[in-house]
Structure 1
Amino acid sequence: MNTKPLQKVLVWDAPVRAFHWLIVLNFIGAYLTAEHDSWRQLHITFGYTMAGLVVFRLIWGLIGTRYARFSAFVRGPRQVLDYFRCLLNRQPGNDIGHNPAGALAIVAMLGMTILVTTTGYATYKEFGGELLEELHEGLANAMLLVVAVHIAGVLLSSWMHDENLVRAMIDGQKRGNPKDGIHSAWYSIALVLILAVLGFWWMQWRLPI
Structure 2
Amino acid sequence: MAAPAMTGQAGGVTPPATVAVWDPFVRLFHWSLVALFTIAFVTGDEIAWLHLWAGYAIASLVILRIIWGFVGPRHARFANFLRPLGDVLAFLRQSLRLKAPRHIGHNPAGGYMILVMFGLLTYLTMTGMLLTTDAFWGSHLLKEAHEAGAYAMVGLVALHLAGVALASVEHGENLVRAMVTGRKRAPDEKTIR
Shorter-chain TM-score tier = 0.7 to 0.9
User: Do the aligned residues in 1 keep the contact of 2:120 with 2:153 (CA within 8 Å)?
Assistant: yes
Displacement of 1:102 after TM fit?
A: 1.2
Q: 2:56 maps to which residue?
A: 48
**Is 1:92 aligned with 2:95?**
no
Task: Kindly state the Cα deviation for residue 91 of structure 1 after the two structures are TM-superposed.
Answer: 0.7
Give the 5 Å matches for 1:174-189.
174-177=184-187
Which position in structure 2 is the counterpart of 1:147?
157
Greater Rg by CA: 2
Gaps of 5+ in 1: 1-5, 181-209
Give the match for residue 4 of structure 2. none
Following TM superposition, by how much is the alpha carbon of 1:116 offset from its aligned partner in structure 2, in angstroms?
Answer: 0.3
Higher relative contact order (CA 8 A, sep 6+): 1
Give me the whole-angstrom Cα distance separating, in 2, the residues matched to 1:74 and 1:139: 24
Pairing partner for 2:85 from 64, 74, 77? 77
Aligned to 1:57: 65
Higher deviation after alignment, 76-85 or 120-129? 120-129
Shift of 1:176: 2.2
Matched to 1:92, the amino acid is A
Which of 3, 7, 28 pairs up with 2:17?
7
Cα RMSD over matched residues?
A: 1.7
Cα deviation per residue 1:41-81 (whole Å; 9 max; x = unaligned)? 00000000000000000000000000000000012210110
- Which of 120, 129, 134 lines up with 1:121 in the alignment? 129
Q: Does 1:158 align with 2:162?
A: no
Amino acid at match of 1:144: V
Question: Aligned residues: percent identity?
Answer: 44
Q: CA deviation at 1:84?
A: 0.8
Output one character per residue of 1:118-150: Cα deviation in whole Å (capped at 9) or x when no partner: 000001224332111111111111011101110
The answer as to whether partners of 2:24 and 2:182 remain within 8 angstroms in 1 is: yes
Amino acid at match of 1:29: I
CA distance in 2, matches of 1:77, 1:9: 28
Q: What TM-score results when the alignment is normalised by the length of structure 2?
A: 0.86
Separation in 1, partners of 2:114, 2:135? 29
Alpha-carbon distance in 2 for matches of 1:124, 1:165:
38
TM-score (norm 1): 0.79
Find the aligned partners of 2:83 and 2:143 in 1 and give their Cα distance.
Answer: 33
**5+ residue gaps in structure 2?**
1-15
Displacement over 4 Å in runs of 4+: none
